[in-house]
Amino acid sequence: MRRAASPSRSPLAGLARQFGALWRDERGATAIELAILAVPFFALIGAILETALVFLASQTLDSGVQDASRYIRTGQVQAITNYNLESFRAAICGRLFGLFNCNNLMIVVKPVTSFATATIPATPLDPTDPTKWTISPSFLPGTGSSVIMVQVYYKWPTFMNFGGFRLGSTADGTYLMSTVRVFKNEPFTS
């Protein structure tokens, strides 16, 4: 006569014992915790680094435009015969420390009738196609005592555009940087 298998010797009981031993085993717990936390941790570090880089680039652009605009304000630009948009672009780019592709700067320099009439567009990009600008580049530095508005825009490429984090402010995922200076030229004679 054959004996019935005891409950402790059944295949399921052996599997349950092995699973219980595996459940109590703490070897590799750190590796599993790291695997769970690594993606959000490195995403957070990447977001912090990208935000810091955008902030640095934005401040650099603002400072470069401020310094280059001083040449217009003091009349040095107007005294040079062949000074044009590309010359002004080069003056800005010389202060950007290689952070920008200077060919992609959108620059608008124009006189305005007063400080009160110096208005900028809500967005210089076409809302239906963010690769197109709604403004045209221009360089009109004005004469002595005229009010000048300098606008410079740049589409900064962003990389951390996934999950809930999206630093890009345009439909194509780039971040639109802008700086505007409005000033009155010194009373120089052209």
DSSP label at 96? S
Total domains in the fold of the chain: 1
Average pLDDT, rounded, for the chain? 88
Given a contact cutoff of 8 angstroms between Cβ atoms, the answer to whether 74 and 188 are in contact is yes
Q: In angstroms, what CA-CA distances link 90 with 64, 77, 101, 138?
A: 11, 13, 11, 15
pLDDT value of residue 163? 64
pTM here is 0.80
Under the banding of pLDDT at 50, 70 and 90, the label for residue 144 is very high
Residue 145 covered by a domain: yes
User: What pLDDT is attached to residue 31?
Assistant: 83
Would 47 be classed as within a structural domain? Answer: yes
Q: What is the domain extent for residue 134?
A: 27-184
Domain presence at residue 2? no
Cα–Cα distance, 138 to 107 (Å, whole number): 7
